Chain A
Amino acid sequence: NAGVTQTPKFQVLKTGQSMTLQCAQDMNHEYMSWYRQDPGMGLRLIHYSVGAGITDQGEVPNGYNVSRSTTEDFPLRLLSAAPSQTSVYFCASSGQGVLGFGKTQYFGPGTRLLVL
Chain B
Amino acid sequence: AQKITQTQPGMFVQEKEAVTLDCTYDTSDPSYGLFWYKQPSSGEMIFLIYQGSYDQQNATEGRYSLNFQKARKSANLVISASQLGDSAMYFCAMREGPTGGGNKLTFGTGTQLKVEL
Chain A positions within 8 Å of B, measured between CB atoms, are 31, 33, 35, 40-45, 48-50, 56, 58-59, 88, 90, 92, 94, 96-97, 99-107, 109-110
A88: chain B residues within 8 A (beta carbon):
43
List chain B residues, Cβ under 8 A from A56.
Answer: 102
Interface size on B, as a range, is: 20 to 34
A104–B45 CB distance below 8 A: no
The smallest C-beta distance from A78 to any residue of chain B, in angstroms, reads 20
B residues whose Cβ falls under 8 Å from a Cβ of A = 4, 31, 33, 35, 37, 43-45, 47, 50, 52, 91, 93, 98-110
Residues of A contacting B52 in the complex (Cβ-Cβ under 8 angstroms): 101, 103
State the CA gap A88–B107 with chains docked (Å). 15
Nearest-neighbour CB distance to chain A for B94, whole angstroms, equals: 11
Please name all residues of chain B whose beta carbon is closer than 8 Å to the beta carbon of A102 when the two chains form the complex: 33, 99, 103
User: 14 pairs across A/B with beta carbons < 8 Å?
Assistant: A33-B102, A33-B104, A43-B91, A90-B45, A92-B103, A92-B105, A97-B99, A102-B103, A103-B33, A103-B50, A105-B105, A107-B47, A109-B44, A110-B43
Shortest Cβ distance from residue A6 to the other chain B in the assembled complex, whole angstroms? 11
Partner of A42 from the list B33, B91, B102, B103 (CB cut-off 8 Å) is B91
